[in-house]
Amino acid sequence: GAVVSQHPSWVICKSGTSVKIECRSLDFQATTMFWYRQFPKQSLMLMATSNEGSKATYEQGVEKDKFLINHASLTLSTLTVTSAHPEDSSFYICSPQEGSNSPLHFGNGTRLTVT
Amino acid sequence: EDKVVQSPLSLVVHEGDTVTLNCSYEVTNFRSLLWYKQEKKAPTFLFMLTSSGIEKKSGRLSSILDKKELSSILNITATQTGDSAIYLCATLPYFGNEKLTFGTGTRLTIIP
């Protein structure tokens, strides 16, 4: 089956610092990458969608200058949370898509805690 | 706005029981409905349903889509403690980016 590697699995950082989360598709090429956020006891909410080589499309209410997404290759995408604040503490999950009509796979997620 | 609703929000049953989880949706350009199991980490894929009335099975789990009722059910028979998890359903649109809209999830707890 498809293998998705997401790092780090957890990170604690101080308020005001930036955190980079990496997502790699190890055995397929991800033409599209989805980034989700999940707050405690809530469902997954889509933050942004990126296609390789293009700018990401952000969902309403998600600040593009705060959550920087880079999808430079078909196997790697990064999400950088800039100037993190405690309210950014959440579980961030990437989901690379190989092609249309394929079940979407997920990384193992990154639990971010901002103190 | 697309909406996916799951019920119940939480369910506690004894090992060996059978459970039925519900998912209803109101979405534009519906193509497929997916079920996922989420334990401590990211969701793992269970089923993808595109055609109405065709049951998909995997071991003790089965699922079926009813496009007339805009809903789907996920059945788990002879439940085990390892089935304890959050079960998420999500819809996939027909056009454009393959953007999933997730339901609220059902938290299932199996008591030994």
Digit-by-digit pLDDT tens for chain A (115 residues) are 568 999 999 999 999 999 999 999 988 888 889 999 999 888 889 999 988 878 899 999 999 999 999 988 889 999 999 999 999 999 999 998 887 656 678 999 999 999 9
Residue B96, pLDDT score: 61
Cβ-proximal residues to A40 (8 Å cutoff; 6+ apart), any chain: none
Q: Kindly determine whether residue B100 and residue A104, on different chains, have CB atoms separated by under 8 Å.
A: yes
Residue A2, pLDDT score: 65
Is the bond preceding A40 in cis, omega lying within 30 degrees of 0? no
- Total Cβ atoms within 10 A of residue A84: 22
What gap in Å lies between CA B90 and CA B105, rounded to an integer? Answer: 9
What token pair was written down for A72? 């430079």
What gap in Å lies between CA A30 and CA B13, rounded to an integer? Answer: 39
What confidence tier does B40 reach under pLDDT thresholds 50, 70, 90?
Answer: confident
Residue A1, pLDDT score: 59
Residue B89, pLDDT score: 96
Q: How close B48 comes to chain A (CA, Å)? A: 7
Q: Kindly determine whether residue B100 and residue A95, on different chains, have CB atoms separated by under 8 Å.
A: yes
**Stretch B79-94: mean pLDDT:** 93
Q: What is the DSSP string of chain A?
A: ---EEEE-SEEEE-TT--EEEEEEESSS--SEEEEEEE-TTS--EEEEEEETTS--EEPTT--TTTEEEEEEETTEEEEEE-S--GGG-EEEEEEEE-STTS-------EEEEE-
Question: Which one of B31, B43, B48 has the shortest CB-CB distance to A106?
Answer: B43
Q: Kindly determine whether residue A106 and residue B99, on different chains, have CB atoms separated by under 8 Å.
A: no
Residue A103: burial class (beta carbons within 10 Å; 0-12, 13-18, 19+): middle
Residue B97, pLDDT score: 60
Q: How close A67 comes to chain B (CA, Å)? A: 18
Mutate to test the interface with B, among A3, A41, A44, A57 (most CBs of B within 10 A): A44
What token pair was written down for A56? 């990401």
Question: Which one of A44, A49, A106 has the shortest CB-CB distance to B97?
Answer: A49
